[in-house]
Structure 1
């Protein structure tokens, strides 16, 4: 497999106090199966869709204070140390300094200056998503921030992103691109978002039927934030799992309307 372009979303994982509960929930909602927990890596457990690695779940480290579960999206890097330097220079914060993860690769966890958390992954034996854009796999992500200008300035300084703006003046939405391809959205968190909700990266997983995924989510104790809604990109819904981790589902086969126009920044 060819190395992913720097800045490409390449992996997602989340920490859950109730690991078995998380496995049961996502197994039902997204059809995931799970591998053996890697005790040498703190119980890190990979999720699979159709036998292909799509994400991972992990329990809190011993002694680590319990907090709200959240999905973390990782961006590809050929050199995490160099990326760490750019993060600092752009005003970001390193939550977890660059570290090697066996022969799988190297990683770091950071926040942009507005508080948006994200990860960086330098691939070794583990190259990231083995499935994307298909049911059960990752398909899209969006940065949600209350300081859009801050995030807009930060991410292109860390990764080689181009920036395009949606021409619909009613919504402050931008798209980060690599080689002309859209790879990440950025949405302003307006007063419609609960004030206690911190900035985050919303991770979308593809599903065969958005409404069925929503029904399974609520049936298992999860919540609907908004949706299901039809869009030119597919029918989607923003959800929260029973342990508080936000995620979204998207049926890319069910599209409605024309794609919005984007203008180059």
Structure 2
């Protein structure tokens, strides 16, 4: 079932994810088999959109600099990206890549919270974001792993109050301490979660395709999760619920 576009219009709702990869063609093979994604010839700027049942669900982007991390990034919707960028700075965060137009699709930026966790901003134009989500093979959750969860609550609550606490809000991202799941030296970061119908079967597919399990399955309030890396090193989570 296609996602409700209205729910994605609130500032602070996760609206898109992309992966920065050394080899996009290898990424297409990996994620195409794991999630059933297809890839058209069209591009979103330099990114290749992934589709499920004809609807956009993610994008794969070529790394333009080998020093850049191989990583999945979550983007939060905003009607005014420049105003949000100013609020991020005022709250103690920073703008890593300033707002820039992506063809006629919208405006994108990269930001970091006060602890350094990186996330994206998206002001939509023709590209509204996810065509499907919350179903197998699509985005379902983003978890922030922070060192100071109370400080994170203050920072993101101030930025995205309506998405987290407003009328009818159904948060699609949460906060937890890094040490709850990862070694203490792991830096704060967002972890993108994709829903799967059967977690154990999906983990077998990840291994067969050359990926690896970083954190074995564990229970959360929002489902059973395992953290994995693809065959190029990009980490993400699989969620069964």
Q: TM-score, normalising length from structure 2?
A: 0.90
Q: Which residue matches 1:261? A: none
Q: Secondary structure at the match of 1:24?
A: helix
Partner of 1:258: none
Alignment of 1:11-22 (within 5 A): 11-22=16-27
Q: In 2, distance between residues paired with 1:178 and 1:218?
A: 41
Q: Report the counterpart of residue 147 of structure 2 in structure 1.
A: 146
User: Unmatched 5+ residue regions in structure 2?
Assistant: none
Paired with 1:14 and 1:250, the residues of 2 have a C-alpha distance of 18
Residues 142-168 of structure 1: CA deviation (Å, up to 9, x unaligned): 101123233222112222257xxxxxx
Deviation at 1:197, TM superposition (A): 3.0
Deviation at 1:56, TM superposition (A): 0.2
**2-structure distance, mates of 1:230, 1:194:** 18
Question: Cα deviation per residue 1:103-162 (whole Å; 9 max; x = unaligned)?
Answer: 111111000010110011111000000001111111111101123233222112222257
| 1:97 corresponds to | 98
SS of the residue 1:182 aligns to:
coil
TM-score where L is the length of structure 1? 0.82
| 1:78–1:122 CA contact under 8 A, matched in 2 | yes
How big is the alpha-carbon RMSD for the aligned residues of Structure 1 and Structure 2?
2.0
Matched residue SS, 2:171: strand
Following TM superposition, by how much is the alpha carbon of 1:183 offset from its aligned partner in structure 2, in angstroms? Answer: 2.3
CA displacement at 1:37 relative to structure 2: 5.2
CA positional deviation for 1:23: 1.1
Deviation at 1:191, TM superposition (A): 7.5
Is 1:34 the counterpart of 2:23? The answer is no
Q: Does 1:226 align with 2:215?
A: yes
Match of 2:60 among 25, 35, 57: 57
Cross-structure match for 2:10: 5
Q: Retained in 2: the 8 A contact 1:12–1:73?
A: yes
Structure 1: runs of 5 or more not aligned: 163-175, 253-265
Are 1:182 and 2:171 an aligned pair? yes
SS of residue in 2 equivalent to 1:181: coil
Q: Is the 2:50–2:58 Cα contact (8 Å) retained in structure 1?
A: yes
Is contact 1:236-1:249 (8 Å) kept? yes
Q: For the structure 1 residues 67 and 99, does the alpha-carbon distance in structure 2 shift closer, same or farther, using more than 3 Å as the test?
A: closer
Who is 2:197 aligned against? Answer: 208
Aligned equivalents of 1:59 and 1:37: distance in 2?
Answer: 15
Change (3 A) 1:244 1:195: farther
User: How many pairs align?
Assistant: 235
What is the distance in 2 between the residues matched to 1:13 and 1:83?
Answer: 20
Deviates more, 1:236-245 or 1:103-112: 236-245
Quote the offset at 1:232 in angstroms: 5.5
1:97-176 paired onto structure 2 within 5 Å: 97-161=98-162, 176=164
Cα deviations by residue, 1:81-111 (Å, 9 ceiling, x for unpaired) = 1101100100101001011112111111000
Question: After the TM superposition, which of the residue ranges 150-159 and 17-26 deviates more from structure 2?
Answer: 150-159
